Amino acid sequence: MYWRRIIMSLFAALLLAAGLAGCSGAQSNRTPEEWLSLSYAGLAAMDQYAFSGSTSMGMAEGVMFKPQTFEGKVVNHHQLTIQSDKQDPLYWNPVEVLDALNRSHESVEIVENGVRDENGTDTLVLRAVEKRAAAKDRWTGMLKQELEKVTGEVIIESSGAGLKRKEAAEKAKQELDAMLRTLQVHTEYEITVDKQRMLPLKMEENTTFDYERNGRGMKENRHTSVRFQAFDGTAARTD
């Protein structure tokens, strides 16, 4: 993994150098897929940066849960810290998200181009849809991992209480397996890209989960919004 990061950084630096040397006409000829690849390579090449955002979950019936806010910083290509206002684990590494999306997207399109943000930066906005099979595999793995963590904490004892806890853990596993067999996942991202530096400035993720639980159809949705900053090296100096 360490050597792969070095190779990606070198490759990304070459792509960035070629892009910065090009003219605006060359930029306008890039395909949506190329912009997605360049934004991933640009972020992977950054030694340090910071990001912050929030994730919210809701049900189709309109029930919304309190958003979970988080922030993180990357220095020397390593995610040093990621802090959240909740104790729930947060599976969100921006480079990994862009890498997976770059490798397993169903479609990519440019929905806005030539729009300047509040800082006067020339940007474009990509909309990328993840392949359904890849999205399902990713979430299946994370949900199973989290269940294993929870059930692993169950102490198996010979007492009646211990046996009940073991039975409850096994029932939870069976219910999750049944849900995952019917799970359908649809995930799309909107990525705001700095056209000059070819870096993502903002990412919006919208994911819909459809599944059956005890014979009843269920629908949940998840929204994650992330902003990137401190590309100038100030991330390393923050506490």
What residue spans define the domains of the chain?
A: 2-134+182-237
Average pLDDT over residues 74-90: 68
Distances (CA, A) of 83 to 91, 123, 150, 162: 12, 29, 21, 34
Q: How far is it, in rounded angstroms, from Cα 63 to Cα 231?
A: 37
pLDDT tier, 22 (very low <50, low <70, confident <90, very high otherwise): very low
| pLDDT tens profile 191-213 | 999 999 999 999 999 999 999 98
Q: What pLDDT digit, counting tens, does each position of 116-130 carry?
A: 888 888 999 999 999
Q: What is the pLDDT of residue 161?
A: 56
CATH of domain 2-134+182-237: 2.50.20
Whether pLDDT at 109 is above 70: yes
Rg (CA), the chain: 21
Sign of the CA dihedral with 91 first, then 93, 96, and 101 last: positive
Mean pLDDT taken over the chain? 80
Percent with pLDDT over 70 in the chain: 74
Q: In the predicted model, what is the mean pLDDT of residues 151-155?
A: 60
Q: Choose among 228, 229, 183: nearest CA to 209.
A: 183
Lowest mean pLDDT among 76-90, 92-106, 107-121, 166-180: 76-90
